[in-house]
Every structure is written in structure tokens, then in C-alpha cells.
């Protein structure tokens, strides 16, 4: 049976959102001006904790997974435990937004919108406390550090963020510049890719550049490896399986007349399943070592696996889709058909419990396009907060009745 929220409850929630929105926007701007890098979120965590402790009836536990915070709101009736998550860290990017609240920390900014994610969750908490009588069970609010490569979700899970009480389902969102402002996009199954770093070191015999026959040409070998790696997607992996293999850094040589004895290259591998990721890694290793050997050199190949793929569970995703369909006009809800090759450590939560991750549109339709994530000009769109808070608040209120 489709979700059907009463018009009266919708009006009440919307009214409460509008009440808290000015202060929530101010909080976002303040955090935007004072960003913290991965595993350096001490000040950010302290600011969030201070805001949470102002909210009556909320249990607040800081220091979960170092800088993580878990807050719990207990409803008026028994029911499931639902979790809502926001990440908190910023990026080593020099801001170029021109905003009055731009980052005051040189070379650091919220270029991925985590300031908006924090504000969205904080606002949702403030609204939900007004509807405690409608809540069945408990709601956990997870403020997570170190999403940007630090695997903060895994650290928080290992530190018990999903226990005491055990979480039954978890939801999260990400502001998305490719969607119009306030639009909700869901996807069943794999939404975001696994992320792995590629490291290749070629070792051979360097020589004078005018006498290449006296050595092995590591630069030539490296070029042939880079070119050959493109056959991974076209020949090793099925055409319907999305992957990305990109070499992004190459370092070799000290002079124009010397063929170097070593060359190092690195890059990224993205895949939608662990099986495909492992198959790609085997292929990369085989190609690189074989090409190097054919030229009389050696190649050492290694990988660092960062995040697994973010794979949404079916029933929680169906819940989000039905919820969004009831809350918004049809044109503001989209079911995505293809994944994106970005990575997200929300995947660690989804490996442990059911849940779903969705996109919240932030694009205001400006000329030239909205700045992309990780771009110096990106800034989370405050106008999207109302839609994001509606999704979080109503998800918490409606999930216990979902069938």
C-alpha cells in the first residue's frame, strides 16, 4: 500500500521547517566559513555538539569514532530504530565562490556540501522533537567525520554507532548539482562506485637518451601501459558493466637527455561490484607486468581499496521513492537508471544494515551551469534545505508504518 501522509501533518511539518530554517541557514554559513579537513573536525564536532545540547529530550554522545556524534530521540511508542546520517569534513580546495561567508581557512572549503548535509540533519532534528508523539521507536542521528577518503563511516561502525540500540534502517542524502533544486533522485541497487587507488612502478635500466639501445625505455613502457589499460573496459569487462580506469599521475626523469631507470604512475579504479573490482585489478596487474617484461623491465603493481560500492537496499529505496512521490510533485521525483562513478563511504553503513542513499538537487538553473562537486565555486544551495528536511523528517515519522 503506497505511503499516504495526511495533509494536516504535511502542513504542520512544513510550518515547523519554515520556523527553524533561518537559524539552520545561519548555522550552515557559519560552518562553511570554518571548514575542517578529514580527521581534523574537532571544532566542527564541538559546534554540532553545542547545537544538539540545546535541544530538549535528545541524548547526545560525542567521540564516537573520534570526532563522530550520535544523538538519539526516543518516540512515544515502541517501534524500529531508524538512523539519519550527515558527514562533516571539508576538502583541501581554495574557495572561489565570492560569498560573504566564504571559508576563512586558506586552502580549505566545503566543496562537497557537507556543511549543507550537517545543517539539513540538524534542522530535521529540531523539527522532529516537535512531533515526538508521532514517533514510534527511536531515531539515531549520526554526524560523521572523514568521508573524504578517511573512511569515517567504517570507523564509526567499528566504534558502535549502529548499536545500543541496534539500527534497523539508515538513510542519507547528498546535495547534487546535476539535479534541479529540491528534486529527489533515488536509485535501486548500486548508486556509487567502489574506489581503489592504482600504483604502478616500472623499474629498468636507464641510459643516455641519445643511446636508447643501451637500456630500457621506462617512459615508452609507461605510455604503452597507460594505453593498454583502456582495453580493460572494452575487452575484459562486459559492456553493460560500468567501470572507470584512469591514470592521473606520472613521475619520471630528471633531465632531457637521460632515460630514467624508474617511472611511477598512479590513478583510480571505479567499479560497481567487488567482483568486478577484483577482476579489473587482476587485469591491470597482468597487463602492466607483461608489457614491462616484454620490454626487458619490471613492473610492481599495487592497489589501495578505499570504499566499496554504495549499494542501496530494495525495500528502503522503495520506501524513499514512495515517500518522495507523496511529498512532492511528480516532476520533482526521479528514479535514476544508471549509477555515478563517484564514491561514498555511506557504503560501509549499507554493508552492515539495510538502508538507502539519495540525491537532493541543488541546481538553481544559473547560466553556465551549477559548479560541480569539489569545484572551487561550489556552494550548497540553501533553497534545497526545505526539501531535504521534509524527506528526513517524514522518513522518521512514516517508516514504522511502512509495509
Indicate which residues carry an active-site annotation.
89, 147
C-alpha dist (Å) from residue 349 to 126, 170, 178: 24, 8, 25
CB 357 within 8 A of CB 169: no
Nearest alpha carbon to residue 125 among 29, 27, 33:
27
Would you call 172 helix, strand, or coil by DSSP? strand
Where are the alpha helices (H) located in 75-213, listed in sequence order? 114-128, 152-158
What is the dihedral sign for C-alpha 240, 241, 242, 247?
A: negative
What are the beta bridge partners of residue 252? Answer: 263
* Angle made by CA atoms 51, 52, 57, in degrees to the nearest 5: 135
Cα–Cα distance measured from residue 378 to residue 110, given in angstroms and rounded to the nearest whole number: 8
Helix (H) or strand (E) holding 117: helix 114-128
DSSP state of 372: P
Amino acid at each position: 500500500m503506497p505511503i499516504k501522509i495526511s495533509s494536516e501533518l504535511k502542513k504542520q511539518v512544513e510550518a515547523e521547517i519554515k520556523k527553524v530554517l533561518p537559524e539552520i541557514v545561519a548555522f550552515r554559513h557559519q560552518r562553511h566559513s570554518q571548514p575542517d579537513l578529514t580527521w581534523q573536525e574537532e571544532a566542527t564536532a564541538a559546534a554540532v555538539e553545542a547545537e544538539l545540547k540545546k535541544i530538549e529530550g535528545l541524548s547526545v554522545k560525542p567521540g564516537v569514532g573520534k570526532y563522530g556524534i550520535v544523538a538519539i530521540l526516543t518516540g512515544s511508542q515502541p517501534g524500529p530504530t531508524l538512523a539519519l546520517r550527515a558527514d562533516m569534513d571539508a576538502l583541501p580546495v581554495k574557495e572561489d565562490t565570492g560569498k560573504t561567508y566564504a571559508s576563512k581557512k586558506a586552502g580549505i572549503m566545503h566543496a562537497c556540501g557537507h556543511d549543507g548535509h550537517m545543517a539539513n540533519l540538524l534542522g530535521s532534528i529540531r523539527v522532529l522533537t516537535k512531533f515526538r508523539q508521532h514517533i514510534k521507536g527511536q531515531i539515531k542521528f549520526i554526524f560523521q567525520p572523514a568521508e573524504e577518503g578517511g573512511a569515517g563511516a567504517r570507523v564509526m561502525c567499528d566504534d558502535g554507532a549502529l548499536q545500543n540500540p541496534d539500527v534497523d534502517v539508515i538513510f542519507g542524502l547528498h546535495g547534487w548539482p546535476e539535479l534541479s533544486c529540491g528534486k529527489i533522485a533515488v536509485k535501486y541497487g548500486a548508486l556509487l562506485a567502489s574506489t581503489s587507488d592504482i600504483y604502478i612502478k616500472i623499474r629498468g635500466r636507464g641510459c643516455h637518451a641519445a643511446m636508447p639501445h643501451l637500456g630500457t625505455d621506462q617512459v615508452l613502457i609507461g605510455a604503452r601501459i597507460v594505453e593498454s589499460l583502456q582495453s580493460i573496459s572494452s575487452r575484459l569487462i562486459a559492456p553493460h558493466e560500468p567501470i572507470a580506469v584512469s591514470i592521473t599521475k606520472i613521475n619520471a626523469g630528471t633531465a632531457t637527455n637521460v632515460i630514467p631507470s624508474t617511472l611511477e604512475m598512479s590513478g583510480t579504479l571505479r567499479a560497481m561490484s567487488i567482483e568486478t573490482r577484483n577482476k579489473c585489478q587482476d587485469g591491470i596487474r597482468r597487463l602492466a607486468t607483461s608489457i614491462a617484461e616484454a620490454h626487458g623491465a619490471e613492473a610492481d603493481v599495487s592497489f589501495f581499496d578505499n570504499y566499496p560500492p554504495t549499494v542501496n537496499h530494495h525495500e528502503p529505496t522503495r520506501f524513499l521513492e514512495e515517500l518522495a512521490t507523496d511529498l512532492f510533485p511528480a516532476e520533482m521525483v526521479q528514479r535514476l537508471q544508471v549509477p555515478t562513478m563517484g564514491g561514498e563511504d555511506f557504503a560501509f553503513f549499507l554493508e552492515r544494515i539495510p538502508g538507502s542513499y539519495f540525491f537532493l538537487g541543488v541546481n538553481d538553473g544559473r547560466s553556465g551551469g551549477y559548479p560541480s562537486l569539489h569545484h572551487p565555486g561550489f556552494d550548497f544551495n540553501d533553497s534545497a534545505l526545505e526539501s531535504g528536511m521534509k524527506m528526513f523528517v517524514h522518513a522518521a515519522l512514516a517508516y514504522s508504518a511502512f509495509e
